[in-house]
Structure 1
Amino acid sequence: MFRRLFDKRRRAPDAPVPPPAPTVPAGRQADALLRRLEWTVVRRLDGLLQGDYRTLFRGFGLDLADLREYRPGDDVRHIDWNVTARLQQPHVREFQEDREVAAWFLLDLSGSIDFGSGTVRKRDLLGDFTTVMAMLLTRYGNRVGAVLYGGAGQAAASVVPARAGRRHLLHLIDRMQATPAASPGETRLGDLLDHARAMARRRSVLFVVSDFISAPGWQAPLAMLARRHEVVAVRLVDPLEMALPDLGLVVLQDAETGEQLFVDTHDPAFRKRFADAAAARENELREGFARAGVDCLTLSTYARLDMALLQFARERRHRQGAPGARNAATARGAA
């Protein structure tokens, strides 16, 4: 009300009232976002993040291709025990991989996702990452779906079935943008992971996109998901969550519970305690991802999305090729 009165006082009596801004349909917003990211990000990643034949994420075919001797680092679940007993040497099965991959985006749209200290919010970063990865996957015939979680105040998570095609991608973006801001309540990320485990029956690639500001207890459901699926944790961060600048007396409000706290950021001891708590949370998250056995992709609101994806792809390929490199080095040393 006060803003409205202030605007009227500043405007001249005979000044024309500006017309309201035209509303853009949701379908056009999704198409505009798709075209913008296709020109700014996808064209830079095309051919680098994945090739025309094999993607960064492997398919899950069941056709037996070959048998070979077991090497350190191989999955023990692929050991052929009949051949191992007959040859007295552990052998593993190699399968013919399908090119088609079913990918699911587990999207945390709770209140803390709306935070951003600059021009880009974590919610904007979530939408850009989901759009880019879904575009890269669907252009090669893969199916993508999503589970939208709005926090503990939401009755149930919203599900977008896994399908392929540009129209389905636009539908997914529409549902993601139309999801309202979360109602007040604590985030329980474990509920989202449990819902995804009950929904994704076949083995798939799962992207857990969240800032992982949640009630404790999500590590065990994440580890159970990683036993059956290929899980990638996509963590959204903002630099202001790691260290507070000297802003004087400010009021901080919890985006999920609405609780407010009056603090003095001019106090060096308070800023140090804040930084120590942020560092302790970083170590806890790193240990939780390691225990669950999932890779973590960290996206910052102040960093370029394409460069972060390329760096993650290089590190992932290096880790996947590390066992073979170690075996070759061991063989050369034995020779």
Structure 2
Amino acid sequence: MSKLQKILVRARRQVFSEMVGNNPSIFQGEGYDFIELREYMPGDDIRHIDWNITAKLQKPYIKIFREERELNVVIASMLNGSVYFGSKRFKQDVIAEITAMLSFSTIKNGDLLSSYIFSDKMESFLKPSKKLFSVHKSTDEILNFDPLNKKADYKVLADTLFKRLKRKSLIVIVGDFFEIPDFKVLAKKHEVVAVIVRDRLEETPPEMGFTSLVDPESGAVLEGDFNAQTVKEYAKKVLVHDRKLYATFRKHQIRFTKIYTDGKIGVSLRRLFEGR
């Protein structure tokens, strides 16, 4: 099986079988809430007549419902050079599987799904759909995207989605978030959720001694002695960065989770969306 097929099969299995139960989808479903009964009025939809009450009272009564609008789910993947890395799996592959799982759950729930790929510009866009083909298409685009020498610009992502999305949406942004994004305005208009994808070696790298590293965003070569002290200082900087990142998300009421390349994707996503 190809990498795409394996990811789709694994994601679909978790959504359509392992996640079946009292919670059939990661997201809350759509439907209708019954509010009250009232007498039929000319122009009312006769399909809403409650025939039992009508027979008892000898007058036509209809059920009044409040529609719970279907979700408009938008999945935006940030594919810059740093996602082309992984000690167990490439972060790019994990982002593809996260997208597949969220997409299958959206389609299963009968909601509208649209997806974007960003770097320092909008790279691709799949229009809203309820068809399974859109899951295959979006996952395939992520897997085959070349992120090398591309930079992340979360401002472009936020500005683009703010302008393009007219209807209130659930926006799931997936990336490694080594930059602190400003989603304040976007989060006021929509519900924004962040999925941070990391490899453990990025946060706690091993001692490598004198070596050369290549920046996957710029292609620049960094040479240095990665000894115990250097690694410790680097890990501390990542920790400080992440604390600031989490504080920013909480300030703007953005829910978030971190998924490592060797982690259980389904479990993390389920916890993230429980109680929504």
Tell me which interval the TM-score lies in, with the shorter structure as reference length. Answer: 0.7 to 0.9
Residues in 2 aligned to 1:172 and 1:238: alpha-carbon distance in whole angstroms = 23
Report 1:1-335 matches (<5 A).
Answer: 30-39=4-13, 42-47=16-21, 50-51=23-24, 56-57=27-28, 65=35, 96-98=66-68, 100-118=70-88, 120-149=89-118, 151-152=119-120, 156-179=122-145, 181-182=146-147, 184-214=149-179, 218-219=181-182, 222-265=183-226, 267-314=227-274, 317=275
One-letter amino acid of the structure 1 residue matched with residue 132 of structure 2 = R
Q: Which has the higher contact order (CA 8 A, sep 6+)?
A: 2
Deviation track 1:185-244 (CA, whole Å, cap 9, x = no partner) reads 432111011111111110111001111123x5x31xx11111121111011111111112
Residues in 1 aligned to 2:208 and 2:221: alpha-carbon distance in whole angstroms = 17
**Which has the larger share of strand?**
2
**3-state SS, counterpart of residue 157 of structure 1:** strand
Q: 1:133–1:47: structure 2 CA closer, same or farther, 3 Å change rule?
A: farther
Residues in 2 aligned to 1:170 and 1:270: alpha-carbon distance in whole angstroms = 43
**Which has the larger share of helix?**
1
Q: Point out the more displaced range, 166-175 or 285-294.
A: 166-175
Residues in 1 aligned to 2:207 and 2:148: alpha-carbon distance in whole angstroms = 31
Residues in 2 aligned to 1:203 and 1:188: alpha-carbon distance in whole angstroms = 23
Residues in 2 aligned to 1:293 and 1:131: alpha-carbon distance in whole angstroms = 25
On the 8 A contact 2:93/2:143 being kept in 1, the answer is no
Deviation track 1:130-159 (CA, whole Å, cap 9, x = no partner) reads 10111011012111111111x23x5x4311
Percent of matched pairs sharing the same residue: 21
What is the number of equivalent residue pairs in this alignment?
248
**3-state SS, counterpart of residue 21 of structure 2:** coil
TM-score (norm 1): 0.66
How far residue 59 of structure 1 moved from its aligned partner, in angstroms, is: 5.5
Gaps of 5+ in 1: 1-23, 67-94, 321-335
Residues in 2 aligned to 1:144 and 1:31: alpha-carbon distance in whole angstroms = 20
Residues in 2 aligned to 1:297 and 1:97: alpha-carbon distance in whole angstroms = 30
One-letter amino acid of the structure 1 residue matched with residue 272 of structure 2 = F
Computing the radius of gyration from Cα coordinates, the structure with the larger value is 1
Deviation track 1:99-145 (CA, whole Å, cap 9, x = no partner) reads 62110011111111111122x11111101011011101101211111
Q: 1:40–1:295: structure 2 CA closer, same or farther, 3 Å change rule?
A: closer
Q: 1:176–1:261: structure 2 CA closer, same or farther, 3 Å change rule?
A: closer
How far residue 169 of structure 1 moved from its aligned partner, in angstroms, is: 2.2
